[in-house]
């Protein structure tokens, strides 16, 4: 039994008379502690997959199991609970609360979890021990994304889901962020799922899931992932 498994998961959006099949029967699984990358072109449905995995969206049919729990059957509240306790999210645009300092942004997430990590420790861990009291506006993009990651990690989630975490960042910074994520996975055994359209990144993952037109085109396992530093794009 895999840690995460999608079985014939579908997601359809009904827009008036048109039904759009965003995800059309996705099957994959990810093992605990893996660094997985979901890759595919724009509009392939990868974000939808991530959203369903992260409990931000419900699937139309199929089965999503996370750590033996069937997420696909959750109601809104259960989904929230699931997000609250089991999921850490990192977005392309950081989505920090502008009005809170780095530390406070982390604390914001931590305050609602069952077993949060110490906010300060987490920030120090992501390398922002010196910017604890800065507001997002005072931080660079990379720093903000670090805060976002710290915020996700502080919740001590089962899964860390990242949607194009480097999309808004420059090459170097993006790399640093990816390293942080890879390190987090390696060092803390965190299951990390990253979405990207950049296939160049796939070598750093334990598992790569290719999605195209709402289906899993290919799923490959990488027994020897390349460290981020070694990847060029």
CA atoms within a 13 Å half-sphere pointing along the CA-CB vector of 183: 13
CA distance 148 to 146: 5
Task: Specify the residue, 54 or 225, whose C-beta has the smaller distance to other proteins.
Answer: 54
The helix (run of H) or strand (run of E) holding residue 152 is: helix 141-154
Task: Specify the residue, 56 or 205, whose C-beta has the smaller distance to other proteins.
Answer: 56
Query: Residue 45, interface with other proteins (CB under 8 A)?
Result: no
Closest approach, Cβ 15 to other proteins, in A, equals 13
Which positions from 143 to 182 touch other proteins by CB under 8 A, shown as an x/- string?
--------x---x---------------------------
The helix (run of H) or strand (run of E) holding residue 64 is: strand 61-66
CA angle 150, 232, 37 (to 5 degrees): 50
Closest approach, Cβ 187 to other proteins, in A, equals 23
Closest approach, Cβ 230 to other proteins, in A, equals 31
The Cβ of residue 31 has, within 10 Å, a number of other Cβ atoms equal to 15
Closest approach, Cβ 224 to other proteins, in A, equals 33
The helix (run of H) or strand (run of E) holding residue 191 is: strand 191-196
The residues of the shown chain that bind other proteins, judged by CB under 8 A, are 47, 51, 54, 56-57, 76-77, 80-85, 87, 89, 91, 93, 95-101, 104, 107-109, 111-113, 135-138, 151, 155
């Amino acid at each position: 039994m895999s840690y995460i498994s999608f079985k014939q998961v579908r997601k359809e959006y009904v827009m008036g008379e048109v039904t759009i099949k965003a995800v059309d029967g996705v099957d994959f699984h990810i093992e605990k502690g893996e660094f997985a990358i979901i890759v595919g072109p724009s509009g392939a449905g990868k974000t939808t997959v991530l959203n369903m995995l992260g409990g931000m969206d419900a699937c139309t049919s199929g089965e999503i199991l996370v750590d033996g729990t069937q997420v696909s059957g959750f109601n809104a509240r259960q989904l929230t609970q699931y997000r609250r306790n089991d999921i850490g999210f990192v977005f392309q645009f950081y989505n920090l609360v502008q009005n809170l300092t780095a530390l406070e942004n982390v604390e914001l997430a931590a305050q609602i979890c069952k077993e949060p990590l110490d906010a300060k420790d987490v920030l120090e861990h992501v390398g922002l021990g010196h910017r604890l009291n800065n507001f997002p506006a005072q931080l660079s993009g990379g720093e903000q994304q670090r805060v976002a990651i710290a915020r996700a990690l502080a919740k001590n989630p089962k899964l860390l889901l990242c949607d194009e975490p480097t999309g808004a960042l420059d090459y170097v910074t993006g790399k640093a962020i990816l390293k942080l994520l890879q390190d987090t996975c390696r060092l803390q055994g965190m299951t990390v799922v990253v979405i990207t359209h950049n296939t160049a990144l796939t070598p750093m993952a334990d598992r790569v899931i290719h999605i195209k037109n709402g289906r899993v085109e290919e799923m490959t396992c990488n027994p020897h992932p390349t460290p981020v530093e070694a990847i060029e794009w």
